[in-house]
Structure 1
Amino acid sequence: MYKIETPESEVDFDAYFEFRWQMLRKPWNYPQGSEKDEYEQVSEHRMIRNNKGEVIAIGRVHMNNAEEAQIRHIAVANEAQGRGLAKMVMSSLEAVARQEGAVRIVTNSRELSTPFFKSCGFEVEREASAELGKLKRQQMVKRLLDHNTILLHPKWCKELQDTWHDTIPISEQMGIKLHQYSGKTLENRASLNKNINLHGTMFAGSIFSLATLTGWGMIFLQLKEKNLMGEIVLGDGNIHYHKPITMQPRALCHIESLNGKFDVLSKGKKCQIKLHVDILDGDTAVAEFSGVYWILPPEPEVQTDNES
C-alpha cells in the first residue's frame, strides 16, 4: 500500500531531487542541478516510496498568484507506472492548491503527458515556452470548483475583492480572498505560505489584517444589502490569540455579531458598528477579534447656481 509523503529532512530532499533529475533531466543529457529552479523554497513537494524506501513518484505545486497554482515535475518510476501513483500525487497537490485558495491550476505538459493531464480534468489552453530551450510543451489549465461554497450576490463579492486589491495591494500579496458569503456569514481565507514566520506559523500581524478586512468586508456587504453608502474606517480593534495557525487560516463574521444602526446614514449622520470575527485554523478556533468601525456618510452634493 502506498502513501503520500512530504519530504522534510535533507536526506529526503536529496532522494527527491535525485529522482527528479533521473526521470526528467538525465534522459535529455541535462546536468545535475538543472532539475531545480527558483521556486523550490515556496513550493509544496510530495513523493511516494516503495517498500524499500526508494522514491518512486514525485510532484510539486506552487502559487503563481492568489488565484493560480502551478503543478510541475510529476514523475513516476518506470517499474511503478500503471498503479495510479501519478493521480495520487496529483490529488494531493490539488488539495494543497484548493487550501491555498486557488481557483485554477496550470501545468506545462509535454505531448507524452497531455493525455494524463486531460484525464485529471485539464484542458489545453495554448502552447507554452520550451523548457530549457528544447522541450516543446503545451500549457494546460484546470478550473477548480468548490461545490460547497455559497456566494450570495457574486457581483458585490467581486466588487469587495477588487476593492481590497485596488486600495490595499498587500491583501492580494497575502492571498486574502473572499471564500463565501451567505447573507448572514462572511468567510475569508488567506494563504499560510504567504504569511508564514520562522516558526512555520502565521504572522500575528497577518491574522490581525485578515480579521480587520473580514469585519470591514461584512459592513461593506451589509451596506449593499441596505442600499446605503458610506466610507468605512476602523476605529478600534482588539484580538486575543489562543493557538498558532499552522494549516488553513479562516476568518468568519456572523451578522448576529453586528451591533449598530445603519439607518442613521440616510440622515447624513455617521454610524458606529461593533462586531466580532472568529479566526480558525481549519476547523479549530484560534483567536477572536472585536472591532469598532465607523461609517461616514457621503459628502452632500454641492448645489451650483447656473443662472446668469
Structure 2
Amino acid sequence: MYRIATPETEEDFARYYDFRWLILRKPWNYPPGSEKDEYEGVSEHRMILDGKGEIVAVGRVHLNTSEEAQVRHIAVSGDHQRKGLGQMILSALESVARQLGAERAVTNSRETSIDFFQSCGYRVEAEAPNELNQLKRSQMVKELTENNVLMLHPKWCNELQQTWSETIPISEHMGIKIYQYTGRTFETRASLNKNINIHGTMFAGSIFSLATLTGWGMIHLQLKQQGMDGDIVLGDGDIHYHKPITMQPRALCNIETLSGKFDSLRKGKKCPIKLQVDILDGDTPVAEFKGVYWVLPVTSTT
C-alpha cells in the first residue's frame, strides 16, 4: 500500500530532505544540505509512504508566477521504481498547482527523465541551466487543465464510465467520475455536494460505494489489458474510516495491492481478486477499503 503524505513535523522534514539528498545528490558526491534551495519555505512538499511508513518517493512544487508552477526534486527509491510512483507523486504536485491557481507547470528535466515527463504530458520547450554544473537539462512545460491528467486507454475508460452510468445508477447520482488511469493506478472522484450529510461531510455509505466501484473498475480495466472478459462481483468488503471527508472525495487503487491471477478465468472458472482502495480527502488519507471480488466467466446466451 502506498499513500501520499505531506511532511509537517521537524522529523518529517528531516526524513524528507535526507531521502532527497540520498537519491538526487549523494550519487554525485554532493554533501547533505545541497538538496535544499531558497524556495523550500514557499513550496508545497509531498512524499509517498509505503505500508511501513517508509518514504519511497518525494517531490516539490512552488509558484514562479500566479499562472506558472514549477515542479522540482522528484525522486523515487530504486527499490520501488517502475511501479507508477513517479506518476503518482507528479499527479499530486500538479493537483496542488491547480488548487493554487496555476495554469501551467514547468520542470527542468535531466536527459534521463525526459521520456518520463513526456509520457505525463510535458513537452520540451527550451534548454535549461545545467544542474550541479554538470548535468544537462531541458525545460519542459505542461498546460494544466482538468482534462489533461494521464488517461491510458481513454476509450476503455469512456466505455467504463458509460457502463456505470447505464447499469449502476447510483454512480450517476453520486457524481462518480473516472479521473485518471495509468495502467498501474486508477483514480475516481465523487461530488461532495451530492453525498453530503447533516454534518457537512460525506456519507459513510457513499464512501463505501465509491471504494467498491473503484475496485470494480480497476479489475475491469486489468481484464481489458489482458484481452479478457468476465462478470465482476463483490464477494466481501471491509473499510476503516479515520477522518471525515469535507472537501474533495478521491479513491485510488494501485496495481501493487491486487493479488490473484486471472489464469483460472481462461479455463472457464471463476477467480478471486483481492485489492485495496485508498480514500482521500484532497491529499489527506481518510479511509482504507479492502475487498475480495470474484470474476466469473461470461456465459454464452446463445
Determine the structure 1 residue equivalent to 2:295.
295
> AA paired with 1:195?
N
Determine the structure 1 residue equivalent to 2:261.
261
Name the structure, 1 or 2, with higher relative contact order (CA <8 Å, separation 6+). Answer: 2
> AA paired with 1:245?
I
Determine the structure 2 residue equivalent to 1:224.
224
> AA paired with 2:254?
H
SS of structure 1 residue aligned to 2:245: coil
Determine the structure 2 residue equivalent to 1:243.
243
> AA paired with 1:178?
I
1:173 CA displacement? 1.1
1:146 CA displacement? 2.4
SS of structure 2 residue aligned to 1:201: coil
SS of structure 1 residue aligned to 2:222: helix
1:299 CA displacement? 1.4
Cα deviation per residue 1:134-175 (whole Å; 9 max; x = unaligned)?
xxxxxxxxxx93265110000000011011110011211110
Aligned positions of 1:146-161 closer than 5 A: 146=146, 149-161=149-161
Determine the structure 2 residue equivalent to 1:196.
196
> AA paired with 1:181?
Y
Cα deviation per residue 1:234-257 (whole Å; 9 max; x = unaligned)?
000000000000000000000010
C-alpha root-mean-square deviation of aligned residues, in Å?
1.9
Q: Does 1:208 align with 2:212?
A: no
SS of structure 2 residue aligned to 1:298: coil
Structure 2 length-normalised TM: 0.52
Extract unaligned runs of 5+ from structure 1: 1-94, 100-143, 303-308
Aligned positions of 1:25-174 closer than 5 A: 145-146=145-146, 149-174=149-174
1:183 CA displacement? 0.3
1:298 CA displacement? 1.4
> AA paired with 1:273?
I
Equivalent pairs counted in the alignment come to 162
SS of structure 2 residue aligned to 1:160: helix
Percent of residue pairs identical: 74
Determine the structure 1 residue equivalent to 2:64.
none
Deviant stretches of 4+, over 4 Å? none
Q: Distance in 2 between matches of 1:204 and 1:255?
A: 25
Determine the structure 2 residue equivalent to 1:276.
276
Q: Structure 1 residues 194 and 184 mapped into 2: Cα distance closer, same or farther (>3 Å)?
A: same
Q: Distance in 2 between matches of 1:271 and 1:164?
A: 22
SS of structure 2 residue aligned to 1:170: helix
Larger Rg, first or second structure (1 or 2): 1
SS of structure 1 residue aligned to 2:227: coil
Determine the structure 1 residue equivalent to 2:53.
none
> AA paired with 1:214?
T
Extract unaligned runs of 5+ from structure 2: 1-94, 100-143
